[in-house]
Structure 1
């Protein structure tokens, strides 16, 4: 399965939308997108997981590393709308208390 990643940013906010499976083979795509945003002037990144059907430990590690780096820069990384399978992984690993997880994806104002 593929992983498609797209980003949208406005001001200091960015939304990263991932769809497909996030695993050992596809995680570098998400890592590259997050790394690009971390080099910019972004204070807040929201990762839209509503289209992610599967996520393994490699995917979680990519998200954790990005959150740590952004926090060091004074910013925040949040996870939005994880599907039940991904939410379960977050709960089982205790990462639901590490990440800020919301049910809805914020909409960036295009104007």
Structure 2
């Protein structure tokens, strides 16, 4: 399955929307998107809208953890929003639900961000 990634940024906040499956085959593309975002933007607060993610394996979780680490090194943060039940279960089983802040939906203040890509 193809992975689609789009971003919306506004005032140092970015919402990254992911649709599809994050696995061994699609994780490198997601990693590239994070790298591009961090190189091109002064963003310090990123929320990943996971409402369209149907599956995420350990490779995908590692990409998210890597992005979190890179943002923290810049003084920023990365949060997850609206994970589907299967993804939420993976977060709980791995204990990553205590590493990431997980929202039920994308925080309202970020919904006014301008679309990019």
Q: What TM-score range do you get, normalising by the shorter chain?
A: over 0.9
Distance across 1 between alignment mates of 2:113 and 2:18: 20
Could you tell me how far 1:108 is from its partner in structure 2? Answer: 3.3
Over the residues paired in the alignment, what is the CA RMSD in angstroms?
1.2
Query: Which residue does 1:109 correspond to in 2?
Result: 112
Alpha-carbon distance between aligned partners in 1 of 2:32 and 2:9, rounded to the nearest angstrom: 15
TM-score (norm 1): 0.94
1:25-104 superposed matches below 5 A: 25-39=25-39, 40-104=41-105
Q: Following TM superposition, where does structure 1 have runs of at least 4 consecutive aligned residues deviating by more than 3 angstroms?
A: none
Query: Matches of 1:29 and 1:108 in 2, distance apart?
Result: 24
C-alpha separation in 1, matches of 2:113 and 2:56? 30
Q: Which structure ranks higher in relative contact order (CA pairs < 8 Å, sequence separation ≥ 6)? A: 2
Normalized against structure 2, the TM-score is what?
0.90
Distance 1:110 1:77 in 2: 16
- In the alignment of these two chains, the number of paired residues is 111
Structure 1 gaps, min length 5: none
Contiguous gaps of at least 5 residues in structure 2: none
